Chain A
Amino acid sequence: MTTSGKDPVLTSFEAVAGQEFDVVIVGSGVSGAVIAKQLGARGCRVLVLEAGSGNDITVADYEESVQRFYGAQGKDNNSAYAKSRNAPMPRDYETRKLQPGQPNADGYLVQMGPLEIDSTYTRVLGGTTRHWEGKALRMLPDDFRMRSLFGQGRDWPLAYGDLDAHYRAAERELGVAGDVEDQQYGGLDFGPGYVLPMRKMPLSYLDRMIARDLDGMEVTLSGETFPLKVRSTPQARNGVPNPAYDEGRGYKPVGAVSTHQEDKGERCQGNTNCVPICPVQAKYDARRTLYAALETGNVQLLAWSVASRLEVDGVTGQVSQLEFKTYDDPDAPGHRVGHVRAKVFVLAANAVENARLMLASDLPGSSNLVGRNLMDHMYLLTWALMPRPAGALRGPICTAGIEDIRTGAYRRHHAAVRYSIHNDGWGWATGSPYSDLEHLVEHENRFGAPLRQGLIDRVSRQFLMDCMIEVLPDESNRVSVDPRWVDQMGNPRPVISFGATPYTLETAAFSRRLSRRIFQRLGAEDHTHYDPLAPGYVSHDGEGYVLRGGNHWAGTHIMGTSARDSVVDSTQRSWDHPNLYLAGAGSMASIGTANTTLTLAALCFRTADAILAGLGTHAPASTTTGARA
C-alpha cells in the first residue's frame, strides 16, 4: 500500500475476493475514511470498498476533475466528477416537477414525491466531501433533545456533551477554520479555552456591508426576542493556523493529497467554486483522511467495486459475508461478483446508499425503520440587489451567516432555521453569472463597454440569503427499493418518497417574511420569485415557495435506545446484527440546522472507538498481514 512518496497501490479483485479482514468498510467518504484511519492506526486489517474510480488520488487526477468542471456546460454539483453507468450518481438537473401519480425515474434516483428533492451525492473516492461546500457547524445541545424540549421529533440516545471530544477530533481531522468567540449562541459550548485549528475565514466585503446595517435588528418568535448578528461560519478550509490551538502547540494544515509531493495545496484564495471543486485543494475532502488511512499500511482500498448484498447468519444475526461487484469499464456492462468476510462490517456509503444496500439485502430491520425517517435540510432561497456594488463572486461561497434563531421555544410550533450570506451571487437561485450574461446579450442587445458595465452593475450587487430549514424525522419520508427499477449492474436504485410538513413550511413562510424585512433594512431591491413549474414548488397558506435540497441526506438508519424504535445504537451499531455498523448521517435522530458532515464525522470517531473496544484492547494478531511491501 501507499506511503508518502510512494505510489498508491490499489488492491485488486483477485487479491480480495474470498478473503477475510478484521473490518470491511463500504464507502470511502468521510465516514468510511475516519473509521479506516482510526482502525488502521491501531493495527486492524481493513478493506475499504469504493464504488467509483480508484484513479483519483494523485494531483494529476485532481487536475482532471478541475478541468472537467471548467469545461462543463452546466456547473451542477457533480459536474467535476467522472460519471459511471456502473456506479451512477444523482444529478440535480434530473429533477423535474412531478405530476401526481407519475414518478420521475429519469435519473439515478426514482422520485415518488410528493416533493421532488434535488439533492445529490457523489459516488467517487472521498464521497460527497468532494463536492461539499465545507461548512462545519456543530449541532446545538437542544437539537439532541427535540422530543423532551419541544415535543417534536426524537431525542438522541446521547447528549451534546457526550460528543464533545469527538467533535474536537472531527474539527482536527477536517481542519476547521473558525473563531469560537463568534459561536456563542443557542447554548453552544466548546469548553473552556478551546480554539479551532485555524482562524476564521475573513468576512467578505458583502458580509461586512450587511453586518453594518443588520446587527442589532430584533426578531420576535413565540414571544421570545432575538437580536440578530452576522457571525463568521466555521468551515473546513485551509486558512491561517491558530497558534493557540492544542494548548499552544498550534496546527499544521493538511494540504493537497499528493502522492509525490508534486503539489502542496494552498490556503483558500476565494475562487468561489468550493462546490463542486476547490481548484487549489484548500477545502477538506475525505481523500486526505483516506490517504492517511492507507499510510498506516493496514488499510487496503478496492475501487470500482459496488457492494451489492449483505449475507446474514439466520441464527446469530451476524453478517457472514458481503457480496460485491467489480467492474473494469465505468460504462460498459459486465462485472465480476466476489465475496469478503470480516469480523466487523461497516456501511459508510451515505444515508441513501446504506439504506438501499440493506433493503436490497432484504434487511428492513426488526423495527422496519431501515430507509425511513429520511431527512434533508430544506433550503428556501431569497435574493436581492444591493444598493451599491457588494463584491459578489469573491471569497469562498459563504463566510458568514445569521445563527441567533437556530433554537428557541418556537420550535414547539415550527422548524429551526439559520441563514447564510452567499458570496457567490445569485448563482444557486438563477444560474448567475451565466444567466446575467445571456440576459444582457439576448434581451438588452448589449455588447462592448455597456455589456461589461451591465455585468458589473448586475453581478457585483447580488446578494443571496439561503434559509436552511430543519426537517423532522418522519417515517413516511423514505428510501425504498423496487424490482422495477434497477441500474445497469442489476442493483436496485434508490426510490425516494419525500414531502414537506407544515412544521417546515411555517418556517419557510416566516423566513420569506424576514428576508423582506432584511432587504428593506439594507435598502436592497427584492428579486425573489418562485416558479410554480420548478421542482420543489409548494404552497402554504396561499403563498408559493420553492424548496431546494441540501444534500444532507440523513435518518435512514436512525439511532435510538432500543431495537423496537430504531436501527442503530449510540455507537451506530445495528441492533439486529451485532457485527454490523451503519455509519454516517443516516444514524442521526435530528439534523437541527447544522450541515451534517461535522457531526457524522464526530459520530464515526465514536464508532471507531466502539469497534476497537469490541475487537479487544490488544491489536489483532493479523496486524502485520496487511503491511506494505
Chain B
Amino acid sequence: MSLTKITDKAGLHRHLEAAIQLEHATIPPYLNALYSIRPGANTEAFHILRAVAVEEMLHLTLAANILNAVGGTPDLTVPGFVPLYPAYLPDGETDFQVDCQAFSRAAIETFLKIERPAEGATPGVDTIHKGRKRAHHNGHKRHGTAVRARHVPGHEEEHFYSIGEFYQAIEEGLERLHAEMGDALFSGDPARQIGPEYYYSAGGGLMAVTDLASAKAAIRLISEQGEGVTDNIFDYEGEIAHYYRFEQLLLGRYYQKGDARGRPTGREVAVDWDAVFPIKANARLSDFPEGSALRQGAEDFNRAYGDFLALLTRAFQGEPAMFVEAVGGMFQLKELYYQIMRQPLGDGTHAAPTYEISHG
C-alpha cells in the first residue's frame, strides 16, 4: 500500500489499518520460528519468541483499539491482509524482506531488522540520538509489492526506517487532527474497545483508547515494547525491548540492567540451533502434492488461521468477548503447526504452514 502524510481522518484510518496489517505481518514469521523448535528443546528461546509473539498480538489489538476510537473499522479479513511471504513490511521499510522460516540465526537476524531501533540508534553506531527520530518522508523509492495495495494510493509516499518511526507519524497525525477537530476526533463507540480484562501479560497491558492521552499511551507502549524508540535496552516499565530480547539469542547471553548494547553480561542463554524442524522457507500449498494428507493438513491450517482472523475481526467490530474465543483458537492452531511441521518433504526440509488465506 502507499501511505501519505496524515492530513485528514481518512488518512489516519489508512495509517492505522496499515498498523494493524503491520503488527499482524510479524506474527506468521514469529510463530513459524517458534513452533519449528522441537518440542521440549530450546526452552529459553521458545519462551523469548513466544513472549514477543504474544506482545505482537497486544500491539495488533492496541492498533485496532486506536482505529476503533477514531471511528474506523478494523477488518482482518480483507483480501491481501495476510502477506505472501517473503514480504516487505507494510510500513514501507524497503531494505529487507521478511521470510517465514525455521528458527535459525538468519531468522533472528530478520527479526532484529523488524524490531530495529530508529535510525541512528542502531547498536554499533556511535552517534546516538537522544530524542525520538523523525519519520523520513519520501526517503526511499519502494521496491517489491509483496503486500498488495488495498488503500487509495497517494502522491507523496511515506517510507519509514523503523516501526517506531511509523508510529511516530501516526502520533503526530493524531495530534494534528486533534488540534483541528478536538475530541470529535474520537468519535468511535467505546463499547468496541478491547479492555485490559481480555489480555494477559505480566508486562504492559491492554488499554481502552477513548481520547488523545490513551491513544498516545497505547502508541508509546507499542513503540517501546518493540525496538525501543529511545536508546534503552529496557523500556519505561523496566521491560526489555523485543530487539534486545532477540539479540540475546545471537549473543548467547541475557542482558541485565546497566549493560551496554551488544554486550550483555547476564546468565548464558543456551541455544541449540539444530534442535529444530528444518521447515521449508516461505512454503506454498503448491509445494505439497495435490490430494495428499499433507496438502489437506496445510489447507486445514489456512482455513483455521482464516477463522482466527475472522474471530478477531468480530471482536474488533463490536463483539469483544470473541477475543477470548480467538485466543482459545490458538491452541488448536498450535497443534496444526506441529502436525504440519513434523512432516518431511523428502528434500531435507519439512512442511510448514503457507498462510495463503482466502475468506469466503
The reply to whether chain A is a binding partner of chain B is yes
The residues of B that contact A58 with a CB separation of less than 8 Å are 267
Q: Are B255 and A260 in contact (CB under 8 A)?
A: yes
Interface size class of A (residues with CB under 8 A): 20 to 34
Chain B proximity of A3: nearest CB distance (Å) = 6
Assembled-state Cα–Cα distance A255/B257 (Å): 20
Q: Are A269 and B331 in contact (CB under 8 A)?
A: yes
Tell me what chain A mostly uses at the interface: helix, strand, loop, or mixed. Answer: loop
Q: Is A238 an interface residue (CB 8 A)?
A: yes
Assembled-state Cα–Cα distance A265/B202 (Å): 7
Which one, A6, A253, A269, contacts B266 given CB within 8 A? A6
The residues of A that contact B198 with a CB separation of less than 8 Å are 240
Give the contact stretch, choosing among B47-55, B86-94, B137-145, B171-179: B47-55
Interface string of A243-254 (1 = CB under 8 A from B): 100000010111
- Given A60-B43, A261-B240, are A7 and B267 also a contact pair (CB < 8 Å)? yes
Q: Is B126 an interface residue (CB 8 A)?
A: no
Q: What is the chain A residue whose CB lies nearest that of B201?
A: A264
The residues of B that contact A267 with a CB separation of less than 8 Å are 200
The residues of B that contact A252 with a CB separation of less than 8 Å are 202, 205
Q: Is A67 an interface residue (CB 8 A)?
A: yes
- Given A5-B234, A243-B197, A266-B200, are A59 and B255 also a contact pair (CB < 8 Å)? no
Q: Are A67 and B266 in contact (CB under 8 A)?
A: no
The residues of A that contact B331 with a CB separation of less than 8 Å are 269
The residues of A that contact B256 with a CB separation of less than 8 Å are 5-7, 260
Q: Is B239 an interface residue (CB 8 A)?
A: yes
Which one, B195, B245, B269, contacts A261 given CB within 8 A? B245
The residues of B that contact A5 with a CB separation of less than 8 Å are 234, 238, 240, 255-257, 266
Assembled-state Cα–Cα distance A266/B331 (Å): 13
The residues of B that contact A250 with a CB separation of less than 8 Å are 196
Find residues 1-40 in chain A having any chain B CB closer than 8 Å to their own CB: 3-7
Q: Are B197 and A264 in contact (CB under 8 A)?
A: no
Interface string of B214-252 (1 = CB under 8 A from A): 000000000000000000001000111000010010000
Of A5, A241, A263, A267, most B-chain CB atoms within 10 Å? A5
Q: Is A123 an interface residue (CB 8 A)?
A: no
The residues of B that contact A482 with a CB separation of less than 8 Å are none
Assembled-state Cα–Cα distance A5/B43 (Å): 18
The residues of B that contact A7 with a CB separation of less than 8 Å are 254, 256, 266-267
Which one, A59, A60, A262, A264, contacts B54 given CB within 8 A? A264
The residues of B that contact A6 with a CB separation of less than 8 Å are 256-257, 266
Chain B proximity of A56: nearest CB distance (Å) = 14
Q: Are B47 and A263 in contact (CB under 8 A)?
A: yes
Q: Are A253 and B234 in contact (CB under 8 A)?
A: no
Q: Is B124 an interface residue (CB 8 A)?
A: no
- Given A5-B234, A60-B44, A263-B50, are A238 and B257 also a contact pair (CB < 8 Å)? no
The residues of B that contact A262 with a CB separation of less than 8 Å are 44, 47-48, 51, 254, 269
Chain B proximity of A69: nearest CB distance (Å) = 13
Q: What is the chain B residue whose CB lies nearest that of A251?
A: B196
- Given A6-B266, A7-B266, are A241 and B197 also a contact pair (CB < 8 Å)? yes
The residues of A that contact B254 with a CB separation of less than 8 Å are 7, 259-260, 262
Assembled-state Cα–Cα distance A250/B199 (Å): 13
Q: Are B267 and A260 in contact (CB under 8 A)?
A: yes
The residues of A that contact B240 with a CB separation of less than 8 Å are 5, 260-261
Q: Is B40 an interface residue (CB 8 A)?
A: yes
Chain A proximity of B195: nearest CB distance (Å) = 7
Interface size class of B (residues with CB under 8 A): 20 to 34
Assembled-state Cα–Cα distance A238/B255 (Å): 27
Assembled-state Cα–Cα distance A250/B208 (Å): 13
The residues of B that contact A259 with a CB separation of less than 8 Å are 254, 266-267
Chain B proximity of A545: nearest CB distance (Å) = 40
The residues of A that contact B262 with a CB separation of less than 8 Å are none
Q: Are B196 and A243 in contact (CB under 8 A)?
A: yes
Q: What is the chain A residue whose CB lies nearest that of B238?
A: A4
Interface string of A396-427 (1 = CB under 8 A from B): 00000000000000000000000000000000
The residues of B that contact A241 with a CB separation of less than 8 Å are 196-197, 200
Chain A proximity of B264: nearest CB distance (Å) = 9
Q: Is A138 an interface residue (CB 8 A)?
A: no
Chain A proximity of B31: nearest CB distance (Å) = 16
Interface string of A565-582 (1 = CB under 8 A from B): 000000000000000000
Assembled-state Cα–Cα distance A3/B259 (Å): 13
Q: Is B203 an interface residue (CB 8 A)?
A: yes
The residues of B that contact A362 with a CB separation of less than 8 Å are none
Q: Is A359 an interface residue (CB 8 A)?
A: no
Q: Is A199 an interface residue (CB 8 A)?
A: yes
Q: What is the chain A residue whose CB lies nearest that of B50?
A: A263
Of A250, A256, A262, A263, most B-chain CB atoms within 10 Å? A262
Q: Is A63 an interface residue (CB 8 A)?
A: yes
Which one, A63, A254, A261, contacts B43 given CB within 8 A? A63
Find residues 150-179 in chain A having any chain B CB closer than 8 Å to their own CB: none
Assembled-state Cα–Cα distance A391/B51 (Å): 30
The residues of A that contact B51 with a CB separation of less than 8 Å are 261-264
Q: Are B40 and A67 in contact (CB under 8 A)?
A: yes
Q: What is the chain B residue whose CB lies nearest that of A58?
A: B267
The residues of A that contact B47 with a CB separation of less than 8 Å are 59, 262-263
Assembled-state Cα–Cα distance A67/B200 (Å): 24
The residues of B that contact A265 with a CB separation of less than 8 Å are 202
The residues of A that contact B201 with a CB separation of less than 8 Å are 255, 264
Assembled-state Cα–Cα distance A7/B205 (Å): 25
Q: Are A260 and B196 in contact (CB under 8 A)?
A: no
Chain B proximity of A491: nearest CB distance (Å) = 33
Q: What is the chain A residue whose CB lies nearest that of B240?
A: A261
Q: Are A254 and B200 in contact (CB under 8 A)?
A: no
Q: What is the chain A residue whose CB lies nearest that of B245?
A: A261
The residues of A that contact B267 with a CB separation of less than 8 Å are 7, 58, 259-260
Find residues 47-76 in chain B having any chain A CB closer than 8 Å to their own CB: 47-48, 50-51, 54
- Given A4-B238, A265-B202, are A260 and B197 also a contact pair (CB < 8 Å)? no
Assembled-state Cα–Cα distance A263/B245 (Å): 11
Chain A proximity of B266: nearest CB distance (Å) = 6
Assembled-state Cα–Cα distance A243/B195 (Å): 9
The residues of A that contact B40 with a CB separation of less than 8 Å are 67
Find residues 259-304 in chain B having any chain A CB closer than 8 Å to their own CB: 266-267, 269
Chain B proximity of A296: nearest CB distance (Å) = 15
Q: What is the chain B residue whose CB lies nearest that of A199?
A: B197
Chain A proximity of B56: nearest CB distance (Å) = 13
Q: Are A59 and B200 in contact (CB under 8 A)?
A: no
Assembled-state Cα–Cα distance A260/B234 (Å): 11
Assembled-state Cα–Cα distance A63/B50 (Å): 15
Find residues 259-293 in chain A having any chain B CB closer than 8 Å to their own CB: 259-267, 269
Find residues 188-209 in chain A having any chain B CB closer than 8 Å to their own CB: 199
Find residues 48-81 in chain A having any chain B CB closer than 8 Å to their own CB: 58-60, 63, 67
Assembled-state Cα–Cα distance A60/B270 (Å): 10
The residues of A that contact B245 with a CB separation of less than 8 Å are 261
Assembled-state Cα–Cα distance A434/B245 (Å): 40
Find residues 301-327 in chain B having any chain A CB closer than 8 Å to their own CB: none
Chain A proximity of B281: nearest CB distance (Å) = 26
Q: Are B203 and A240 in contact (CB under 8 A)?
A: no
Assembled-state Cα–Cα distance A260/B249 (Å): 12
The residues of B that contact A3 with a CB separation of less than 8 Å are 257
Assembled-state Cα–Cα distance A60/B198 (Å): 28
Q: Are B202 and A240 in contact (CB under 8 A)?
A: no
The residues of A that contact B238 with a CB separation of less than 8 Å are 4-5
Q: Are A59 and B44 in contact (CB under 8 A)?
A: yes
- Given A5-B257, A67-B40, A240-B197, are A260 and B266 also a contact pair (CB < 8 Å)? yes
Q: Are B234 and A255 in contact (CB under 8 A)?
A: no
Other than the known A7-B254, A260-B240, what 13 A-B pairs have Cβ atoms closer than 8 Å? A5-B256, A6-B256, A60-B43, A199-B197, A240-B200, A254-B202, A255-B200, A255-B201, A260-B266, A262-B47, A262-B51, A264-B54, A269-B331
5 residue pairs A–B, Cβ–Cβ below 8 Å = A7-B256, A63-B43, A199-B197, A240-B198, A264-B54
Which A residues have a C-beta under 8 Å from some C-beta of B?
A: 3-7, 58-60, 63, 67, 199, 238, 240-243, 250, 252-256, 259-267, 269
